[in-house]
Structure 1
Amino acid sequence: MFATGSKEGTSLTARAALMIFAKTLAFACNFAIPLLLVRRLAQNDFGIYKQIFLFVETAMLILPLGFPLSAYYFLPRDEERRGHVVFNLLLFSLTVGCLAALMLFLQPALLASLFNNAELTGYAPLIGLIILLWILSALLEVIVVAHQETRLATLLIIAAQFTKAILFLAAVVWFSSVKAILYAAIIHGALQTTLLLFYVRSRFVNFWRGFEWPVMRAQLSYALPLGIAGVIFGLQWSLDNYFVSYRFGAADYAIYAVGCFQLPLMAILTDAVASVMIPRSSALQKSDARREIIVLTTNMMRKVSAIYLPLYVFLLVAGREFILVLFTSQYIRSWPIFAVNITLIPLCILASACDPVMRAFAEHRYFLLKARIITLSVLVLALWYGTQRFGMLGAITIAIGINVVERLIVTLKVKRHLGVTGGDLPLFKDMGKLLVAAILAGLGASAARLLLAGSPAWVVLFVCGGIFLFIYLAAIPLLGILKDEEHQMIRRVAAEWLPFKSWEAKSAER
């Protein structure tokens, strides 16, 4: 089914660009789902849908214990035992998925207790099956990327998300019920799992015939400390949602969930960068090339800053209109929550830089675990107190504040370990310039927003977006942010795609 692929010699930037392209298209495929749901489902039903998939996403983050990410560490390093590594990934994921499905089948009231919503009990068996299939099928992207077949991974990601979008949209349009969406999710998971089995059989012949406990033990030893830290991070990431959902009910949770809408958008870039940074950082760590890791990391931070910083500033300016256009005036109460939550966007710059380094240096995996145990403990107490007294806005403020503290702690640890000093500050100068460009663009968009007061939300969003983009793109070359090779690349693209420039170049040749 799959042609045998060879390792790709593409650069880190090219691989990251392919993954970002794939995940951006994947996001585009799924973008319409919540927009249609808020228009087809009652607010309470939309809240139930968000509760269900909050639980599914939390289970997918927690149950694998970070074990699948061991593929990024072991597949590039141990060519002889790749089949064993892949078999262990499948075995572990199948085991935890089956346990989750069995638990929900035997104890369906667990969901009702967790969310304070008795309506969820009837959906428990379907939710268990979704968790099983989605945990298994999530291995497809991990294994393909770890096997360094980035182009194939790009195609698979796009195809998977396009299929998911079609299934979900069909369920919403034809049936407009939560149960129909769950059946669509089951079909999607079954298709992806089938594709996974075809792929591993074509790449790792007879992989199921060899089980070596030393390989499994090595993977567990690497993955579990980081995985438990991932479990804690998963709880930390979603705990505020559970507090809000339990205390305020499904209808109000729908408001809160819309306020957290941008999280999948950030995950696109963060996951794409991590999937290529972890193997590259791991390879450099093996040769103790710490200086190269610093340069690699700062280059990647520069690239993601070019997207994260303007996105953050623009949403601060036009976020209210963003909510109105996408989710209708029914969800305008989500805007204050959204304004606080987008603080995570610039924090993703630190996540893109630090997380791959922490995973590459396996000896520091316990530090991350200890830090997250402390921050999770503080978060639980703060949410228990703050949600009662300050409502949903208090919950999101507490969650973001704890996240900021943790990111700063991890960043300081990475800085000390890599030996980053004041002499390395020039490596970060372009990020400061990008922030200046974003602020200038934000000021221009703010002025336009004031002039358009009283206009329809979509007009304000469109005009402000156009002005912001124009000023930002104009400021980048004026501030000297572009490198020589980037100038040359832009000229090549312009010569190829702009008719006037292409005609001018041909005339010069004559």
Structure 2
Amino acid sequence: MTGLGDWRDSSRGWTSGTRERASLSNSDFVFMGDILAHCAARQAGLVRYRTTAHRVPHGGGMHDRPHGSILRRAGPLMLARLGVAALTFAIPLVLARVLLPESYGTFKQAWLLSNTLFLVLPLGLNQSLVYFVPREPGKKRLWQSHALILTTVLGAVAAALLLGFGPLVASAFHNPELAAVMPYVAAFTAFKLAASCFDLAWMAEGRIKASAIVRVASEGFYTACMLAGAVWTRSVEGAFAGVVIATFAKAAACWMALSAGGLRISPRELRRQLAYALPFGAAFALIIPQQQFHSYLVSASVTAAAFAVYAVGCFQLPVVDMLYTPVSEILQLGIAEHEAKGDNEGALRLFREAVARLSFVFVPTMVLLAISAPTLISFLFTDRYLAAVPVFRLSIISIPMAALPLDGVMRACAQNKFMFRISVLKLGLTVPLAWLGFHALGPIGALGGWICAEETCRFLLLRRAAHLFGTTILGALPRELWCQTAAAVLAAVPGAVALHLAGGPLLVQLCTGGIVFAVAYLAILRALGVLPPVRAWIPQKAPLVLIREAA
């Protein structure tokens, strides 16, 4: 689920996935880009000769073949996401404290508008660098110049749209304060787009460490500027002024770094680049409305303060994205390895392992969040947002479903057309279900309708995956899943009692309830005989491996 505005810089990252707690179905962005860009590449003849394509090392650039469990193999990707999550986690917590609910709602509405344009307008130009630069490095300057110039122009277009239509949108949202801050929103949206190709350009060159430094440094500076502006002025204008400063600095650095050797333009190569990139734009134009429809519906129907409460209810802890996306990517690699050997049973075993590892974390996480929701919301966002508890408890229903890394299966099995149909179906279901849910139950009904559409399509994906593995739906799922579910439900009782009886600060109460819940959960799993081999997740020193091999 999205935090209704926490969609920041989502088109960047190791692939084209989202960076914040954008959505539990964030893999849709990767899917649609893969599907349509693959079709464009074939039809447009982007790489005309096989010999022009550079061989990519196994594992997407990793020099050594990954071994071990699915979580150990995904470890580096998790660490990369952890750094970004650590830097951005404090933003909503601080803003919810220093801003009035009406102003925090305005912040969320403005962020929603900015990120809609930020996700759709780049048209896949940034992702095209990862495709073209490694394959035709001699034309690197062309690819980077095209992306740099066009994303900057598109940033100006975004600013013009926000300035031109901002008052109309503010009127539709019944929020005059939104119109007042629109110049800030237009400015930082333009600068964000102008700098959007920076880290991907360096990553496409193979400068992974430099790319990572850019991302971490920009995130740190960005967070510091935003929070400093908000705390200093205690206003949404101050927060956005800080954002303008940070995004301008990154845009300036991006232009200085990528245009240092001069800009080059080739109409012929630009056509090739656009032939690859435009399908990404089409994909995002389809996915973004589906992902954000419930946010726009609620925002246009309630006050800014009520939307702030709704946004808090949709807040998600970063653990889901940190685990799900890397495991899904590694699963895709592992399934491809097994399929190359004709080992369908091995692919099924790997899928079950991935589900068991993710559900080991996600299932108890949902249960623990459900029982501690009021205390957690008070601790993170203060008592003024306690009305968000029902929405929050509904939003976390999707967490256990994220234990099914179905996107990795679909990509590994080349189910592109099927995924496209599912995405269209998801959009077709989301609009009526969210609309009906809102008119029947209010904002919580809109979220419920969105979740129904998401999980209906996820069930269809699971059915397809089971068919590909040559088994039934139940046969595709590991036995550990049911034991973990039972253990989490049983552990909820002592966890809830401990939370209720605990005294002292809210943090102490949360820790007490969480520790009791975790101990009970692990004890029940051990009694059931399905406690995961935690020691196997810890990398061993090389001598131990050699001794084992010799034995």
Considering fraction of residues, name the structure with more helix.
1
Instruction: Return the letter of the residue paired with 2:239.
Output: I
Count matched residues. Answer: 475
Mapped pair 1:467 → 2:516: yes
Residue of structure 2 equivalent to 1:507: none
Out of 336, 344, 369, the residue aligned to residue 390 of structure 2 is 336
Change (3 A) 1:433 1:87: farther
* Alpha-carbon distance, 1:407 to partner: 1.8
Q: Distance in 1 between matches of 2:434 and 2:331?
A: 34
Change (3 A) 1:470 1:183: same
Change (3 A) 1:411 1:424: closer
* Alpha-carbon contact 1:305-1:349 (below 8 Å) kept: yes
Change (3 A) 1:146 1:428: farther
Q: Distance in 2 between matches of 1:481 and 1:151?
A: 37
Instruction: Return the letter of the residue paired with 2:295.
Output: N
Mapped pair 1:346 → 2:395: no
Residue of structure 1 equivalent to 2:246: 188
Deviation per CA, 1:182-217: give whole Å up to 9, x if none: 121122223333454566679xx8884566256425
- What are the within-5 Å matches in structure 2 for residues 45-444 of structure 1? 45-65=103-123, 68-69=126-127, 86-87=144-145, 89-90=147-148, 92-143=150-201, 152-196=210-254, 208=264, 212-213=269-270, 215-216=272-273, 218-220=275-277, 223-224=279-280, 227-262=281-316, 266-273=320-327, 280=333, 291=344, 298-350=352-404, 353-358=405-410, 364-416=415-467, 418-422=468-472, 425=475, 428-444=478-494
My pick for the range that moved more, 461-470 or 323-332, is: 461-470
Q: Distance in 1 between matches of 2:129 and 2:479?
A: 34
* Alpha-carbon distance, 1:358 to partner: 4.4
Q: Distance in 1 between matches of 2:526 and 2:195?
A: 43
Q: Distance in 1 between matches of 2:473 and 2:316?
A: 36
* Alpha-carbon distance, 1:329 to partner: 1.3
Out of 467, 477, 495, the residue aligned to residue 445 of structure 1 is 495
* Alpha-carbon distance, 1:385 to partner: 3.2
Instruction: Return the letter of the residue paired with 2:451.
Output: I
Q: Distance in 2 between matches of 1:172 and 1:408?
A: 43
Deviation per CA, 1:322-349: give whole Å up to 9, x if none: 1111111111110000000012222323
Q: Distance in 2 between matches of 1:442 and 1:288?
A: 44
My pick for the range that moved more, 385-394 or 8-17, is: 8-17
Q: SS of the counterpart of 1:258? A: helix
Pairwise CA RMSD:
3.9
* Alpha-carbon distance, 1:90 to partner: 3.9
* Alpha-carbon distance, 1:165 to partner: 1.8
* Alpha-carbon distance, 1:174 to partner: 0.9
Give the percent of matched residue pairs that are identical in Structure 1 and Structure 2. 26
Runs of 5+ unmatched residues, structure 2:
1-56, 542-551
Deviation per CA, 1:234-278: give whole Å up to 9, x if none: 222221121111111101111101101116553444455567677
Q: Distance in 2 between matches of 1:355 and 1:91?
A: 33
Q: Distance in 1 between matches of 2:272 and 2:78?
A: 32
Instruction: Return the letter of the residue paired with 2:119.
Output: L
Q: SS of the counterpart of 2:193? A: helix
* Alpha-carbon distance, 1:136 to partner: 4.3
Residue of structure 2 equivalent to 1:18: 76
Instruction: Return the letter of the residue paired with 1:411.
Output: L
* Alpha-carbon contact 1:8-1:149 (below 8 Å) kept: no
* Alpha-carbon contact 1:67-1:220 (below 8 Å) kept: yes
Residue of structure 2 equivalent to 1:504: none
Normalising by structure 1, we get a TM-score of: 0.78
Runs of 5+ unmatched residues, structure 1:
1-5, 494-510
Instruction: Return the letter of the residue paired with 1:463.
Output: T
Q: Distance in 2 between matches of 1:157 and 1:472?
A: 37
Normalising by structure 2, we get a TM-score of: 0.73
Change (3 A) 1:43 1:433: same
* Alpha-carbon contact 1:168-1:181 (below 8 Å) kept: yes
Residue of structure 1 equivalent to 2:89: 31
Q: Distance in 2 between matches of 1:55 and 1:282?
A: 38
Deviation per CA, 1:10-40: give whole Å up to 9, x if none: 5385673233223223223222222222222
Change (3 A) 1:480 1:275: closer
Q: Distance in 1 between matches of 2:117 and 2:168?
A: 13
Residue of structure 2 equivalent to 1:496: none
Deviation per CA, 1:369-417: give whole Å up to 9, x if none: 433333323322333333233112212211211111122223334444x
Q: Distance in 2 between matches of 1:464 and 1:322?
A: 11
Q: Distance in 2 between matches of 1:201 and 1:289?
A: 48
Q: SS of the counterpart of 1:349? A: coil
Q: SS of the counterpart of 2:403? A: helix
Q: Distance in 1 between matches of 2:500 and 2:464?
A: 44
Q: Distance in 1 between matches of 2:359 and 2:299?
A: 33
Deviation per CA, 1:335-370: give whole Å up to 9, x if none: 0000000122223233xx2334545666x4444343
Q: Distance in 1 between matches of 2:82 and 2:194?
A: 23
Residue of structure 2 equivalent to 1:487: 535
Instruction: Return the letter of the residue paired with 1:487.
Output: R
